[in-house]
Homo-oligomer: A and B are copies of this chain.
Amino acid sequence: MNGHNIGIVGATGAVGLKILKVLDERVKDIQNLRLFASERSAGQQLEFRGKRYQVEDTANSDFTGLDVVFFSAGTEVSLKYCPIAVKAGALVIDNTNAHRMNPDVPLVVPEANLHAVKNHKGLIANPNCSTIQMIVALAPIHRVNPIRRIVVSTYQSVSGTGLEAIDILKKQSEAILAGKEPPEGVYPHPIAFNLIPQIDILLESGLYREEDKMVKETCKILESDIKVCPTTVRVPVMFCHSESVNIELSEPMTLAQVKSILAEAEDIVMVDDPARSVYPTPLACQDRDEVFVGRLRVDPTVPSGFNMWIVADNLRRGAATNAVKIYTEMVRNGLF
């Protein structure tokens, strides 16, 4: 390719910085780069391939001339500025919750439903982090033997909340280790040496919104009425989300068959020798783009049940890498 003009809105945030890094690793030719953030962060300089770029204020910017713009600056910013960027002629890949369930907006995990981008109207949504890693692991099984039901409990790192959450986890941990009261902040309870079974706000269904996302996004991406029963929990881990997943398949299948599907699938790494304590852990999966699966085993309590433990870097695989991969796979497949 000749190189596109690429923009990042929310460039100074946890995901924005990671998009910059993944672009550097995965996109050889970039004609021009423009970085956007809130008024507060505008004027900062970020380096990319030896050159310094000044961060522009999203509110005062004109997106004209940009071919693709990644948005990761919160739902409000996306609701307001994605349509403006689309109107200016850019393909927008939005990492927020703003447009995911809009029927006119494809919601894409490239390994699962790249075909969905064909119907885009300038805007493509990047799914929620906890959904992406589950979909990458389950889509190849679902293609062969439709999944009927998923019961999933998550163990989600604080980096999903943002850079300020990593900071509060560190500060609270230091305080507790020193025998002091942990400082308040970011979460409604201390997160250091603790667990918070709440991610996002409560909905009428009794689910927190993170749980609701896993239910609805999974159905949309897999184009199925698959039943999803999630419990999402914040844990005192800095990077990588982990998921304990139980699935029920439509037809009988052996453990060896499921294992071989996963072993051959794109972007999945099997880390599964439990007798030797080999399974994915968040510390070991940090800074990796793949989805790691271990503890794969038969669940004998239902006809065709399996359990697995799925770990991925939420900022990379669960956000930046998926967003960039939507773009690179579109280019590679002549869909851009």
Which residues of A line the B interface, CB within 8 A? 149, 151, 153, 155, 169-170, 173-174, 177, 188-190, 193-198, 202, 206-208, 227-229, 231, 233, 235-238, 242, 244, 246, 274-275, 277, 279, 281-284, 294-295, 297-299, 301-302, 305, 307, 309
Contact = CB atoms under 8 A, between A and B. Distances in A.
Contact of A237 (B169, B177, B194, B281): B194
A301 B246 CA distance: 13
A189 B283 CA distance: 9
25 contacts: A151-B246, A151-B301, A153-B153, A153-B231, A169-B193, A174-B177, A190-B283, A193-B238, A193-B282, A194-B281, A197-B294, A197-B295, A202-B275, A206-B274, A208-B274, A227-B301, A228-B301, A229-B246, A229-B301, A229-B302, A229-B307, A231-B295, A231-B307, A235-B235, A236-B236
Contacts of A198: 274, 277, 279
Contacts of A284: 189
Number of this chain's copies in the complex: 2
Contacts of A275: 202
A157 to B, nearest CB: 9
List 5 A-B pairs, minimum CB-CB distance, nearest first.
A227-B301, A153-B153, A188-B277, A206-B297, A153-B244
B237 A236 contact: yes
A227 B297 CA distance: 16
A183 to B, nearest CB: 14
